[in-house]
Amino acid sequence: MTASSTAPSPHLPVLIIGGGQAGLSTSYHLRQRGIDHLVLEKHRAMHAWSTQRWDNFCLVTPNWQCDLPGHPYPGSDPDGFMKKDEILAYLAGFRAAVAPPIREGVSVTRVARRPQGGFEVATSDGSYTADKVVVASGGYHQPVVPRMAERLPASIAQIHSAQYRNAEQLPEGAVLVVGSGQSGAQIAEDLHLAGRKVHLAVGNAPRCARFYRGRDVVTWLADMGYYDMPVDEHPLREGVRDNTNHYVTGRDGGRDIDLRKFAREGMELYGVLRDYDGQELIFDSNLTKALDDADRTYNGINAAIDKHIAENGIEAPPPSVYEPVWRPEGERPRLTLEGSGISAVIWCIGFQPDFRWLDAPVFNGGGHPVHKRGVTGVEGVYFIGLPWLHTWGSGRFGSVGRDAAFIVEHMAERLERPVPLQAAG
C-alpha cells in the first residue's frame, strides 16, 4: 500500500515501532484494552534473535524468568537455559498467542509532531498519523567498531559480535576478541571450546557466579528483590543504564565464566585495546585490575547472598570465597600482529542507539531517550524494551510485559481524555 498525494494517511490511535518482544508485549496489552493499533517492523518480528545470535547462544537467565504477557515459559526445565532454537520457538509461540496487527518489512523513516496534535509517521511504504507512538526498537542499532579497525591489514578478517555464528566461519589461525562483556566472554569461550587460539582484550565488565550455596544466583537475587528494584532506587540511579552486564553463561546447564581459568588453559589475556601502530596492537596496562575488579563483584554478590541467608535463617550449603586460579605475570601492553598468528578480529564492544528518525526533543546529549518508566516529556511519545527502563528486567523477557502494561495504562487514560494541544509539549 503506497499512499497517494491526495488520499489521507491512515490514522491509528497507537503506532508501535518495532516488532520484538517489547513491541509485541505492548500490542498484547493494547488488545486487552481494545485499543486499535499497528506494529511496524523493519525486518521480521523477533528478527534480532535469529539473525544476531551465534549458533551456541543460550539464555543467561533461567527459563522461569521467561514470562512474556500471556505466554509464560511452557517447557519442562524451568531452571535450565533455553538454547537458540528453543528461544526462537518460544518467541514464535508468543507471536501466535498475541496475534498482533503487524506490518513487516516496513521501515519508519521519520516521526514528527503535527501542529494539530498527534504524529505524522513516514515509512518506506506510505505515511500514517497516530495519536501515540511507542518506540519499541530497542537501543542496539549501530554496531560499534573503532576507527582503528580501518588500519588493520586487509588480510585480517573483521566482524562484529552480531555477525558471529561459529568458529568455522573464520579463517584458520588465532582470533582476537575485543571486549569481555556478555557477548565477548561467551564468544571467547565458544572459540576456546572449539579449539581455537584466542587472544582476549579484557574490559571492565563484572562477573557473577552461576550457582552459589545450592541455587542459581539469579534465583537468590530474585528472592532478595533485586529484580524488582526501580531505577530511581538503585544506588547508581540512571547511571546503572550505562553499566556493562555481568558475564556468566547458561551453556551446558550453566556455569561461571572464569577468564583466569581460560588463561591457565592457554587463552591470552590483555587489557583494553587502545590502538594499532601499523605493526603492534597496543593495550592498556589494566588487566590485573580488570580481573581483580570482576572477582570483587563476584564475591560481593555472594556476600550479599550470605547476608540474606543469615538474616532469614535459610538452610543452605556453606559460604565460599573465590580465590584466583591464575594471575598475570605482569602486563603485556603490546602484541605484534604478524607474529601472533591472528587471522580474525571480533569486535564485541557494543552498539550505539540511532533514533535520528524521531523528531522530538526527548534525548540527552548522548542520544539516549530521557523518560520516566518509558514515558517521555513529549505527550504521546513512549519507549519500551530499553535496559533498565524501570527495573533490571525491563529489557528482558521477565519484566518487559509489566513495563508494557504500565505505558498502555498511561496512554489509555489520555486517549480517553485527550491532552489539550497547548499542553502537548
Q: Is residue 89 part of a domain?
A: yes
User: Does residue 423 carry a pLDDT above 80?
Assistant: no
**In the numeric block, which cell numbers belong to residue 322?**
573465590
The candidate with the shortest Cα–Cα distance to 136, out of 218, 21, 282, 255, is 21
Rg of the chain taking only CA atoms, in angstroms: 23
Q: Is residue 4 part of a domain?
A: no
Count of positions (residues) in the chain: 425
- Specify whether 224 is located in the same domain as 245: yes
What DSSP string runs through 236-283?
TGGGGGGPPPPB-B-GGG-B---HHHHHHTT-EEES-EEEE-SSEEEE
CB 238 within 8 A of CB 47: no
Q: Is residue 152 part of a domain?
A: yes
User: How confident is the model over 405-410, as a mean pLDDT?
Assistant: 96
- Specify whether 79 is located in the same domain as 120: yes
- Specify whether 259 is located in the same domain as 357: no
- Specify whether 70 is located in the same domain as 152: no
- Specify whether 87 is located in the same domain as 222: no
Q: Which amino acid is at 288?
A: T
**In the numeric block, which cell numbers belong to residue 341?**
598468528
**What would the pLDDT profile of 347-394 be if each residue is shown by its tens digit?**
999 888 899 999 999 999 888 899 999 999 999 999 999 988 888 888
CB 22 within 8 A of CB 384: yes
Q: Is residue 6 part of a domain?
A: no
Residue 275 sits in a domain whose CATH number is 3.50.50.60
pLDDT category of residue 396 using cuts at 50, 70 and 90: confident
How much is the pLDDT for 139?
76
- Specify whether 176 is located in the same domain as 149: yes
- Specify whether 323 is located in the same domain as 196: yes
**What would the pLDDT profile of 74-117 be if each residue is shown by its tens digit?**
999 999 999 999 999 999 999 999 999 999 999 999 999 999 89
How much is the pLDDT for 55?
96
- Specify whether 285 is located in the same domain as 392: no
Q: Is residue 264 part of a domain?
A: yes
How much is the pLDDT for 137?
92
User: How confident is the model over 218-236, as a mean pLDDT?
Assistant: 89
The candidate with the shortest Cα–Cα distance to 26, out of 12, 42, 15, is 15
Question: What angle do helix axes 84-98 and 21-32 make, rounded to 10 degrees?
Answer: 20
Task: Count CA within 13 A, CB hemisphere, residue 260.
Answer: 18
Q: Is residue 261 part of a domain?
A: yes
What DSSP string runs through 367-400?
SPBPEETTEESSTTEEE-S-TTSSSGGGGSTTTH
How much is the pLDDT for 4?
45
- Specify whether 330 is located in the same domain as 241: yes
270-281 exposure pattern, b = at least 16 Cβ within 10 A, e = fewer: bbbbeebeeebb
Q: Is residue 32 part of a domain?
A: yes
Which range of residues forms the domain containing residue 387?
Answer: 11-141+353-423
What separation in angstroms does the CA of 407 have from each of 287, 364, 368, 371, 375?
43, 21, 19, 11, 7
Single out the residue in 347, 363, 392 at which a domain terminates. Answer: 347
User: How confident is the model over 259-285, as a mean pLDDT?
Assistant: 96
How much is the pLDDT for 395?
83
What separation in angstroms does the CA of 399 have from each of 66, 67, 181, 395?
9, 7, 22, 7
Domains in the chain: how many in total? 2
Single out the residue in 347, 378, 411 at which a domain terminates. Answer: 347
Pairing of strands 375-376, 157-160: unpaired
State the Cα–Cα distance between residues 388 and 393, nearest whole angstrom. 7
> Exposed, middle or buried by CB within 10 Å (0-12, 13-18, 19+), for 395?
buried
Q: DSSP secondary-structure letter at 150? A: G
- Specify whether 113 is located in the same domain as 196: no
- Specify whether 331 is located in the same domain as 388: no
Q: Is residue 258 part of a domain?
A: yes
How much is the pLDDT for 417?
57
Single out the residue in 347, 369, 388 at which a domain terminates. Answer: 347
- Specify whether 167 is located in the same domain as 311: yes
**What would the pLDDT profile of 163-193 be if each residue is shown by its tens digit?**
999 999 999 999 999 999 999 999 999 999 9
